[in-house]
Structure 1
Amino acid sequence: MSQNIFKPAILALFEGRATPLQKSLIEDWLTESSHQELYFQWLEEWERQNPQLIVDADAAFFQLSNQAEAENPKTSAVRPFSRRLNFFLGIAASVLLLTGICTYVFRDAILFQQYETTNGELLTLQLPDDSRVTLNANSALKVPRFGFGKTSREVFLKGEAEFSVKHLPNHARFIVRTPDQLEVQVLGTEFMVYSRSRGSKVVLNKGKVQLRSLKTKETKPLIINAGDVVTISSKGRLTLHHNQSLAPHLGWKEYRFMFENTSVSEIAYQLTERFGVQIVIADSTLAKRTIGGTFKAETADAFLQVLAEMLEIRIIRNETPSGATQTYTLTY
C-alpha cells in the first residue's frame, strides 16, 4: 500500500476515527523501521496542523458573536448554545492535545518492550525469535514490539547481558546497540556485551561476531572469533585480545566473582555495578592490594564479609537516609 493511500488511515488514528481493520493494517505497517519514522513525521505534521491550545477563546467567541449580532440581531438568541458548543469543543481539543502529547512522550513504550533489572537481580528472557538473553544486575534491554525477526532483529542494551542468538531461515541479522554507539551484529551465536559508564566490552563464546563503533570514521567492521575479548574506549577505539579465559567475564550468571590479581579498587567498581552500593576506600595502599579466587555472593554484605576476612580489614556500614545509596568504608 502506497504512502499516499495509507496516510489517511494514520490521520484517522490520530483523530480517534480509525476502524479495527485500519488499526490492524497500521500494526503490520509499523513493523518496518522506515515506516515508524514516517509515522512520527506524520504525527508532528498533524500536531502542527491541528493546534490544540486555544488562546483567549472567550474573547474570540464574544468578538465573533457581537459582530454577528450587529449584522443580525436575531442571532443573539443562539449565544447560549454557541457558548456551550465552544465549551465542549474546548474539552475535545484538550483531549486531543493530551493524546498527542502522550503518544509522543510514550512512543518508546508503544514501539518497544523494555526489560530492567535492579541491584543484584538477574533476569533471563526468551525473545520472539527464540533467542535467549540473560540480563545482569542494573541493566536494561529494549526490544521492538512489532516485526521482530521478520526483517531484522535489533535490540538496545544498557548494562550487561549474555545473548544466545538463534539463526533464522531468513538469515536476519541480530544487532545489539549500546549507548556509546557500539554496534554488534551476528547471525546466530553466543556472546556477552558489557556497556556501562566506564566503558564497553564484548566477549565471544561461540561463532563469529562483527563489531563496529559508530563514533569513529572507520567503516571497516572488526570480525572476532570464539575466545576473543574486545574492549571499547570512550572514543570508540576497539582493542582485540585473543584466546582469553572467558570464565571471569561470565561468572556473574551464577552470582560468582572471579578475580586474578584484581585490585581492591576494581573490586569496588564491580560491587557498585552489581549491587548499586558506594564503596569508599580509606587508604590508597589498600586500594592497590590485589586478590585472586572465585567467590559466590548474592549481596554486597555477604561479599564484603569475605573480603574483610581475607585482607584483615574493617568494613564500616555507614548510616544512610532511607532510599539513599548504601555506603561502605573499607579501612585497616
Structure 2
Amino acid sequence: MNRPDEDLLAKYFDNLLDARKAGEVLDWLSTAEGQRYLDKELEKDFSSLDRAHKLLLKPRLTAEDILRAAEPSRSQPIMNPKPRPMQQWRIAASIIFMVCLMGALAYFLSGWNNYEEYHTAYAESAEVALPDGSTVHMSGNSHLRFRPNWKADEPREIWFEGEGYFTIQKKAAANRFTVHTDRNFEVQVLGTTFTVTARPSTSRVVLETGSIALNVAGAAGNDQIMMKPGELVEMDLQHDLLIKKEVAPEHYTSRRNDELVFSKTPLKEIIRILKDDYGFTVIVNNEEILEEKFTGVVPSKNVETLLEGLSSLLDVEIVREKNIIKLIQ
C-alpha cells in the first residue's frame, strides 16, 4: 500500500476528508510503515511537552494503542456491525484529542510554564524586584526569567542572560538562591551581592559581599569553585580555562550607578561592552591599540555622553554611523 502524501495526511488529521479517503489513510496507518509514522508523530508531540505533561501522560500511548482502540475488541463477541472506516477514524481522532486535552489541562493547572520575564534593550537598564525582596540591576541587552511564587521551604531559582548586579536576601539553607545561565555555569548563594556576566563572548562572576559556590560545566567535567569577596572568576569555556583573581568589585558593579569604571582596562574589553550592552559594531583602524589599557569613569546611561567620554578617555576620534562606531587614532 502506497503512503498517502503529506497534504492528504494533514487533511486527515484536520478532519477534512470524506469517509472513503479517511478510510484509506486509516488503512495505511494500520500498516507497519503507518505505525512507525504515527509513533514518530506522537514522539515528536510528546517531546515538545514540559515535565508536567509528561508525568501526566506516562505511560505514553503508542500508534498501536491508538489503532487498537479505533477497532472493535477481538476478545469479546461483536454484537454490533463493524464500524465503518469513518467511524474508526473518528474514534482515533477522539483519542488523540483527549491526549491533547489532558496535556493542556496539566499545562494550565501545574504552573510549570508560568514565568515572569524581563528584557532590557541595548543601552537600557532596569532594576527588578524578585519575590523574596532580592533585586537584580540589569544592564543593556539582558534577559531575566523566574517563577512568580516562591515557597518558604523551597530553593529560589532564576534564569539570566546578559549582565546584572544581584543583591540577594539571606535565607535558610533550604532557600538557597541559584542563578542559571545558558553559558554552562550557575551561581549558588544564600545572601550576598555580586555581578554576573553571561554573554556569548564573556562568562564572568565578581563577588562583592558574602560567599558563593560557582558551578562550572566544562569538557573535563563539573567544577565547583568557592568564591570570597573581592574575587573574580572568568571562564573561557571554549578552551576549558578558568581564571580566578582578586579585583576591586566596585569596578564591576558601577553599572547600577549608571557609570562605567575602568581600571587598567584593555580597549578590547571596552569594545566588548559597546557590542554586548549597546549593540554597536566597532571598527578599529589600528589593531595595536586593542591591548592598550585605560583608567577612568564615564557615564553609561546616555549613549552620546558615553561616546563623548570614551573619546576623551581613549584619546581617539569616534565616528558614529547609526550602529557602527569607528575608532580612529
Q: TM-score, normalised by structure 2?
A: 0.66
Q: 1:327 aligns with which of 320, 324, 327?
A: 324
AA partner of residue 136 (structure 1): S
- In the alignment, structure 2 segments of 5+ residues that lack a partner are 1-48, 73-80
Q: 2:176 aligns with which of 169, 173, 177?
A: 173
For residues 172-211 of structure 1, give each alpha carbon's deviation from its aligned partner in whole angstroms, at most 9, with x where no partner exists. 2111122122121111111221111122111111111112
Matched residue, 2:266: 263
Q: TM-score, normalised by structure 1?
A: 0.65
Matched residue, 2:9: none
Matched residue, 2:17: none
Q: 1:296 aligns with which of 286, 296, 299?
A: 299
- In the alignment, structure 1 segments of 5+ residues that lack a partner are 1-35, 55-59, 65-74, 320-325
Separation of aligned partners in 2, 1:149 and 1:174? 12
- 1:304 deviates by 1.8
Structure 1's 172 and 37: CA in aligned 2 closer, same or farther, altered over 3 A? Answer: farther
Q: Does structure 1 residue 39 correspond to structure 2 residue 43?
A: no
Separation of aligned partners in 2, 1:281 and 1:220? 37
CA contact (8 A) 1:129 1:148 kept: no
CA contact (8 A) 2:216 2:223 kept: no
Q: Secondary structure at the match of 2:113?
A: helix
Matched residue, 2:243: 239
Structure 1's 230 and 138: CA in aligned 2 closer, same or farther, altered over 3 A? Answer: same
1:77-88 paired onto structure 2 within 5 Å: none
Structure 1's 294 and 39: CA in aligned 2 closer, same or farther, altered over 3 A? Answer: same
Total equivalences in the alignment: 271
Structure 1's 269 and 108: CA in aligned 2 closer, same or farther, altered over 3 A? Answer: farther
User: Which stretch of structure 1 is more off in the superposition, 269-278 or 162-171?
Assistant: 162-171
Structure 1's 171 and 293: CA in aligned 2 closer, same or farther, altered over 3 A? Answer: same
For residues 292-325 of structure 1, give each alpha carbon's deviation from its aligned partner in whole angstroms, at most 9, with x where no partner exists. 2111132333222233345554332225xxxxxx
For residues 68-112 of structure 1, give each alpha carbon's deviation from its aligned partner in whole angstroms, at most 9, with x where no partner exists. xxxxxxx9xxx9xx989x8999699679759959988xx998243
CA contact (8 A) 1:275 1:299 kept: no
Matched residue, 1:136: 139
Separation of aligned partners in 1, 2:300 and 2:273? 12
Q: Does structure 1 residue 154 correspond to structure 2 residue 157?
A: yes
CA contact (8 A) 2:50 2:112 kept: no
CA contact (8 A) 1:47 1:100 kept: no
Structure 1's 166 and 312: CA in aligned 2 closer, same or farther, altered over 3 A? Answer: closer
Structure 1's 171 and 91: CA in aligned 2 closer, same or farther, altered over 3 A? Answer: closer
Q: Percent same amino acid among aligned pairs?
A: 22
Matched residue, 1:279: 282
Separation of aligned partners in 1, 2:197 and 2:111? 23
User: RMSD between aligned alpha carbons?
Assistant: 4.1
CA contact (8 A) 2:197 2:205 kept: yes
Q: Does structure 1 residue 222 correspond to structure 2 residue 213?
A: no
AA partner of residue 170 (structure 2): H
Q: 2:205 aligns with which of 198, 202, 205?
A: 202
